[in-house]
Every structure is written in C-alpha cells, then in structure tokens.
Amino acid sequence: MVRTDRVTIQDVAVLSGLSICTVSRALRKLPNVSEKAQVRVAEAASKLGYKASAAASRLAGGVTGSVAIVAPTATSWFFAQAVEAAEEVLGDSGYDTVLISLRNKASVRRQFFENLENFAQRVDGLLLLNIDVDPDEMEALKACGLAIASVGMRHVPWDNVGIDDEHAAWQATQHLLGLGHWDLAVLSSNEHSVVTETPRFRGFKRALDEHHLTVHPDLVVAAGPSIDDGRRAMAELITRGARPTAVFAHCDEAAFGALTALREYGLSVPKNVSVIGLDDHPMSGFLGLSTVAQPVADQGAFAANLLCERLLNNESPHQPSNHLLDTKLIERKTTRHKR
C-alpha cells in the first residue's frame, strides 16, 4: 500500500489553531466547546477532507464509524434490496457499511458467532436481517456490546422492523376466499420443523376459520423458498390426488414453482386453479402473479434509521420497539372467481 500521508487530527489542529483535544471534542460535538471553535474546526476538517481513523478511534475507546449488515445470504432479491436501502441510510449518517453474508451455511454462521466478540471491535453496530438466532447466539449478541437493530425478527431485545406475516397471509387467503374459493391448498414454509406453526400459516388458518372452513391436512404441504421447492410441493399435492381450486404459496418463489407444476400437469391458471403468493418478488409483475406485497427497501431503511438513532444517543436505555410495516394485496392474473 502506498500509504499516502494520512490527514490526521493533528493536521486539523494545526490548521484550526487549536489543540488536538479541542478538535477531537468539536468533531464529536461534545459539550464545552465554544461556537467559534466548532466552526473553525469544522472548516479546517472539511478543507482537509479529514475523517477520523476508525482503528485509532476504536483503540482509544471511541467508535469505528462503521456498522455491519448481517444477512443469511446476499444473493436473494430480498436481502439485496434491504441491504441497499440500509446502506443508503447508513451512508447518509456517516457510517460505512460492512457486509456479512452467512451464505446459508451453518459453518459460516457458527464462525461468525464464535468470532463475534472480536468482530465487535471493528464496528459500532449490527443490522440483522432475518437471522433467527438460537439461545447461544442470542447470548453472544447481547454480550458483544454492540448496538443492534433488525429486520424480520421476533421477540428480540432490540429495535425491529418487519411486516405482520400473519396478517399478510390472511390478506392473501382472504382474497382467495372472497373470489369464492373454499378448497384451498397451502404451500407452507418448512423453515421450522412444524409447518403449521409459522405466522404465515396461522394467517391462512385464521382466514379459513373466519369463514367457518377448516384446514384439510391433505391440502397442506411444505415448501422451501425456492422455485424448485414450490414445484415439487405442488406436484406432490397433485399426485396425492388433491384438487384445490386455489393455492396460497407462502412466498412468491414457491408460487412460481407451483405455477410450473400446475402447467406440467395440464392445469390452467387461473382457469382451473387460482394461485397467490406473498412478497411481490421483482418477477411477479412480469409473470402476472397475484400476491401480497411487502415493502422490502422500506424495512431495510427503517431499521437502519433506528440503528443510527440508537448509535447517536447510546445513553438513553429505551425500550426496544417493534415496527410492523403495511402489506398490500396486489391482484394480477393468477387469481379469479371460482366458476
């Protein structure tokens, strides 16, 4: 590295004619700095393009000026969008964004948490995206002493932003019911071993309940969040002999797969079967998939904002808040009245 001579606090001190100490305080907007000094320092700093060294600040007991975004994977559209939105907010607040992808791998994940205490020295805060932590991991997170905010997590002792999954699933199901369908199949997430315990499944069930309908076990099938999984699940449903007139898939990708399987089995959508997803994947508009949209970028941005606030006044130990953003039914071409 050709180390171009770094602009240090010393340079700012000299240019502003004040001591290093005063500059340091002025820069961090600490009390006991006169108006004049503030201005002089600000001018000098901006003229020199000065930015504190993260390593030095950190070592001396201060802050690093960067926060990490931790995602289970960085390749899915959901995370990519949330990350970009968060990065924008963080950048505007002067933080660098360090990206950590757990790559959907247990080993990577384990290593991250084992190394967390050490990693914590390199950032001021953590923005967790849909990481469902086990007790040990929760312990590590609490112990690392970082400010934390999250997207899509439940019952966590820090600020969280998400959607009401149960309600969103209810909206989707309600739409199907409103179209006169009552033989409803559901492709439910298998991320937890018990498929029927997920919020989205509960929303599905609640809608049925309200119409005095019951969930038929033969019409419930597990599906991961991928096209292939959705395809397999739908195929299983069909070969099982199930003949629903409408299908609710827990996410759009699974719905895409369902669409494929349906086509392969000669069933026409929406003529024979209606299909609705949940998420509003970027391709859903193109494919005409009816769905319930969730504001992905907004969630990332909102959570980033909460984290920044927390970072600024870290003193005030306020209650962790949980914000649920609105979801919206988007009717396209894969759902229609039962005839």
Partner DNA sequence: GCCAAAAGTGTAAGCGCTTACAATTTTGTC
Partner DNA sequence: GACAAAATTGTAAGCGCTTACACTTTTGGC
Nearer Cβ to DNA (6/240): 6
77 binds, among DNA, a copy of itself, none (CB under 5 to 8 A by kind): a copy of itself
Q: Residue 120: which of DNA, a copy of itself, none does it interact with, CB under 5 to 8 A by kind?
A: a copy of itself
Question: What phi and psi, each to the nearest 5 degrees, are found at residue 124?
Answer: -95, -25
- The CA-based diameter of the chain, rounded to the nearest angstrom, is 83
Interaction between residue 33 and DNA (CB under 7 A): yes
Distances (CA, A) of 161 to 68, 158, 208, 300, 325: 17, 10, 27, 8, 7
54-83 footprint of DNA as x/- string (CB under 7 A): --xx-xxxxx--------------------
Q: What is the contact mask toward DNA in residues 98 to 137, using x (rule: CB under 7 A)?
A: ----------------------------------------
Give the H/E segment covering residue 291: strand 291-293
Q: Which structure tokens are listed for 279?
A: 């998420």
Contact residues for 205 (Cβ-Cβ < 8 A; gap 6+): 196, 215
> Residue 167's CB: how many other CB atoms inside 10 A?
19
Binding-site size, DNA (CB under 7 A): 31
Residue among 23 and 131 whose Cβ is closer to DNA = 23
32 binding DNA? (CB under 7 A): yes
Q: Which does 160 bind (CB under 5 to 8 A by kind): DNA, a copy of itself, none?
A: none
- Closest by CA to 153, choosing from 321, 338, 330, 312, is 321
Separation CA 44–CA 37 (nearest Å): 10
Which listed residue (27, 220, 238, 278) binds DNA by CB under 7 A?
27
Binding mask 87-106 for a copy of itself (x = CB under 8 A): xx--x----xxxxxx-x---
Least distance (Å) from DNA to the CB of residue 97? 20
Structure tokens at 211: 């119409």
Instruction: Give the range of 26-34, 141-149, 200-208, 297-305 binding DNA by CB under 7 A.
Output: 26-34
- Give Cα separations from 182 to 104, 155, 176, 255, 275 (angstroms): 37, 34, 8, 18, 13
Contacts of 59 (CB under 8 A, 6+ apart): none
- For a copy of itself, which residue of 11, 14, 76, 336 counts as binding (CB under 8 A)? 76
Q: How many CB atoms lie within 10 A of CB 61?
A: 6
| Residue 316 touches which of DNA, a copy of itself, none (Cβ within 5-8 Å per kind) | none
Return the structure tokens found at 105. Answer: 């791998």
| Number of residues lying near a copy of itself (CB under 8 A) | 61
24 lies in the binding site for a copy of itself (CB under 8 A): no
Residue 189: which of 241, 253, 256, 242 has the closest Cα?
253
Cis ω on the peptide bond leading into residue 317 (within 30° of 0)? Answer: no
Q: How far is CA 266 from CA 32, 145, 261, 275, in A?
A: 76, 57, 9, 15
Min separation Cβ 4 and DNA, Å = 9
Say whether residue 62 binds a copy of itself (CB under 8 A): yes
**Residue placing its CB nearer to a copy of itself in the complex, 19 or 121:** 121
**Does 81 sit near a copy of itself (CB under 8 A)?**
yes
For residue 71, the tally of other CB atoms under 10 A from its CB is: 25
- Give least dist CB 115 to DNA, A: 15
Q: Which stretches of the chain bind DNA, using CB under 7 A? A: 6, 8-10, 17-22, 24-25, 27-28, 31-37, 50, 52-53, 56-57, 59-63
Q: Which stretches of the chain bind a copy of itself, using CB under 8 A? A: 1-4, 6-7, 49-51, 53-56, 58-59, 61-66, 69, 73-77, 79-81, 83-84, 87-88, 91, 96-101, 103, 115, 117-122, 124, 144-147, 227, 256, 260, 283, 286, 311, 314
